[in-house]
Structure formats: C-alpha cells, structure tokens
C-alpha cells in the first residue's frame, strides 16, 4: 500500500499536477476517516470545498503532499486562502503526506485535527516579487515545531503502518482540545504541551516546566503570573486525562 500508482498519470505533463492526482487517489484508497473509521471520498476538483469528505460523519479533510518532511516549518498553502479556510464554518482537518520523489513511496502520513490549527502556527511568507511568474503570491509556512506530538496522528510513520484502532484512539484522545474555544487559551495549552514534549520523557516535575518561565514570558508578555498560569494548564491537562499528578510536583503522561 505504500506506493502511488504512476500509471494513472501518464497523460499529465506538469509534475505538481501528477503528484496531486496520484496522492489524492492513494489517500482515497488507503486512508480511513480518523473520526469514525469509514472510507473517505475524494471530492471532484471543480466543485470542491475540501479534498476529501467522510460520507458517514461528514468530516472533511484537506491534503498537502510534499517530498519535504513535515518538520520545523514547511511551506504549505497560499496564506490568505488558508487563513480564510481555517476561519470558515467548513474548516477541514489536515492530512500531511510525505513521499519519496524517486519511486513515489509514501514515507509518512498523518492527520492534524482542525482544532489545533490556530493562526499562531501559521507564518506568512514574503509575497513573491514583481518579476516572479506568480507575482504577489503569498505563501504560508506551517510551524510544525509549534504543534504538539499528540496532535500529529500518524497512519504511517517511517514506512511503519499503524493499526487502525490506534489511529482512532489517538484521534479520540485529542477531543478535549475541541472544547477549548478561546484562541488565547488554546495557545497556552499548546505551549505547555510543547514544553512537555521537549522534555522527552513520560515523568517530569513542575520545576522542569518552570524552567521555561522566561520563554513563556517572551511569548506572553502581557502575563505577569507565569507560574500560576503553568499550574493552571497542568491542572486542565490532568482534568482531561492527558497527564496525572503523581505526588507533590511530579507528573506523568497518560
Ligand atoms: Zn467519518
């Protein structure tokens, strides 16, 4: 299941067209809806509001296929189109497909639930210069470094195909974040989850998170009570079963 079918695109001359067609067909055939487990349908190009739709639960998905691995920051869609999409009522979830150009092999495939897509993870690039073919076109970088691990739900990770049940469970585990409505609150929770990820271990202490106080102060200059704010996020994450309190100042990821 790990290869695009290149027979499908013999008549195309543009490489980006080829990749788009092959990758979308591949996804329709191999990827299920992470919300309900049903098949997903590739929508017709001319009238689509998104790339894929689950006809069972009506969740919709946008896909970005790239030969560049999705790490740190990666250029994605046109900036204004993307901002409009993530602010619309039909905001999609996002599929990221990383492939090898030489043999069209799929190396990585993951989904990021839409509720993690906030403006803070999108960076506007400089518009293309007057002399460029697409002058004025403004790209957007997705800052993958600002998306916590829990939000990257892999179907395929370094050619390793995950169990369907694992994917569905991981998706469900992110549900709590859907309830957070305020962007500012989302941002704080994401920052704390990213700090915990950067510690790289299952058990950690409050002191280890406090060590990032200055970094958080730079990100949130209006806040003068960083430590209580950290504790508040940790309590929230405990209430949502993301982590548990072990004993005074010790935490464990669930
Ligand atoms: Zn579904």
Residues 161 and 197 in one domain: no
pLDDT in tens, 44-65: 776 566 899 999 999 999 999 9
pLDDT in tens, 218-230: 999 999 999 999 9
Strand partners, 61: 52, 93
Q: Among 125, 148, 173, identify where a domain stops.
A: 173
Strand, helix or coil at 177?
Answer: helix
Kindly give the distance from the C-alpha atom of residue 166 to the centroid of ligand 1, in angstroms, as a whole number.
Answer: 16
Residues 131 and 64 in one domain: yes
DSSP 125: P
Q: Which residue has the higher pLDDT, 181 or 237?
A: 237
**For residue 203, what are the domain limits?**
185-253
Q: Among 173, 196, 219, identify where a domain stops.
A: 173
Q: Among 153, 173, 193, identify where a domain stops.
A: 173
Kindly give the distance from the C-alpha atom of residue 134 to the centroid of ligand 1, in angstroms, as a whole number.
Answer: 37
Residues 87 and 196 in one domain: no
179 located within any domain: no
Q: What percent of the chain has pLDDT over 70?
A: 98
Q: Radius of gyration over alpha carbons of the chain, in Å?
A: 20
> What mean pLDDT value characterizes the chain?
93
Kindly give the distance from the C-alpha atom of residue 113 to the centroid of ligand 1, in angstroms, as a whole number.
Answer: 13
Kindly give the distance from the C-alpha atom of residue 144 to the centroid of ligand 1, in angstroms, as a whole number.
Answer: 25
Number of domains in the chain: 2
CATH number at residue 62: 3.40.210.30
pLDDT at position 47, please?
Answer: 58
178 located within any domain: no
């Amino acid at each position: 299941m790990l290869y695009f079918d290149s027979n499908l695109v013999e008549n195309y001359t543009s490489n980006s067209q080829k990749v788009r067609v092959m990758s979308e067909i591949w996804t329709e055939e191999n990827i299920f809806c992470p919300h309900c487990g049903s098949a997903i349908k590739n929508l017709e190009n001319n009238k689509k509001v998104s790339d894929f739709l689950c006809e069972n639960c009506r969740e919709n998905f946008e896909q970005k296929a790239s030969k560049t691995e999705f790490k740190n920051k990666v250029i994605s869609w046109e900036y204004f189109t993307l901002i409009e999409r993530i602010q619309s009522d039909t905001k999609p979830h996002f599929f990221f497909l990383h492939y090898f150009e030489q043999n069209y092999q799929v190396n990585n495939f993951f989904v990021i639930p839409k509720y993690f897509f906030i403006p803070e993870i999108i960076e506007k690039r400089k518009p293309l210069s007057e002399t460029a073919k697409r002058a004025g076109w403004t790209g957007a970088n997705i800052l993958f470094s600002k998306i916590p691990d829990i939000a990257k739900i892999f179907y395929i990770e370094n050619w390793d195909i995950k169990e369907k049940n694992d994917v569905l469970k991981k998706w469900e585990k992110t549900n709590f974040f859907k309830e957070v409505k305020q962007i500012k609150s989302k941002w704080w929770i994401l920052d704390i989850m990213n700090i915990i990820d950067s510690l790289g271990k299952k058990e950690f202490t409050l002191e280890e998170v406090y060590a990032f106080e200055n970094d958080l102060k730079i990100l949130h200059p209006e806040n003068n009570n960083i430590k209580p704010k950290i504790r508040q996020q940790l309590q929230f994450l405990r209430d949502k079963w993301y982590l548990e309190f072990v004993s005074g100042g010790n935490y464990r990821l669930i």
